[in-house]
Amino acid sequence: MKNTMNQNFRSFFDVLVSFNIARLLLLLFVFSLLLPQMLAATEKKPTGPDLHKFWDRNCSECHSHSGDFARTFLKVVDGKLQGPLHKESFQLFLHNHYLVKNQESAIYDMLLAETETPPRFKDECSSCHNRAAEFVRTSLVLKDGELHSNKDDSKTGDFLQSHQDLKSDDVAFFLTLLTRVANEVYRP
């Protein structure tokens, strides 16, 4: 009797273990199918043209690099951009100046930000990292609004704290700049 009970228990236990293993395998299979979609959902994908590539293809032949152009020829007065010839409405000028429809506002915002941002990335980082937009494209991704390395997924802000003896103000400056550029490259 005891032997039969042990056999029944073993049989029941074997079925239970087999059932749980099957459920676990099914769960792992479903998770493996969903994981890439879950990761992709948090990574910011471009929804509009890369503004820096757009500028390089369409504007740089006449106007040089966008940051150089903005800091050399534009100024900000009362929070608005002014060009040397277009003091009243630089945004209207952009609207009428060879831009793809609906791009003038994004280009305006990019030029405004570049006018107000000192060229520290160019001066301090470009010897290793080239231009900021190129560096963002090749090395960084935006995930839930935060910059990460596209190689090991580490947070860029954490990395910058130990990069080139940057002080906390420098880390904040470069993180803000790179995040802005990433939003211009990976259009929201």
Q: Which of 116, 146, 176 is the last residue of a domain?
A: 116
In the chain, the DSSP E strands lie at: 75-77, 80-82, 140-143, 146-149
pLDDT in tens, 69-116: 999 999 999 999 998 887 788 888 887 777 776 788 899 999 999 999
Q: What is the pTM of this model?
A: 0.73
Whether the predicted pLDDT of 171 surpasses 70: yes
For the segment 23-42, the average pLDDT, to the nearest whole number, is: 55
Name the average pLDDT for the chain.
83
- For 30, the enclosing helix (H) or strand (E) is helix 2-42
Question: What number is the average pLDDT over the span 14-31?
Answer: 58
Q: Report whether pLDDT(41) > 50.
A: no
Q: Which domain holds residue 170?
A: 119-188
Q: Does residue 1 lie in a domain region?
A: no
Reduced to 3 states (helix: H, G, I; strand: E, B; else coil), residue 175 is helix
Domain count within the chain: 2
The answer to whether position 28 is within a domain reads: no
- Asked if residue 103 and residue 124 are part of one domain, the reply reads no
Strand partners for 147? 142
Measured CA to CA, the distance from residue 127 to residue 173 in angstroms comes to 18
Q: What is the mean pLDDT of residues 60-65?
A: 90
Residue where one domain finishes, among candidates 91, 116, 141: 116
Is the pLDDT at 133 greater than 90, yes or no? Answer: yes
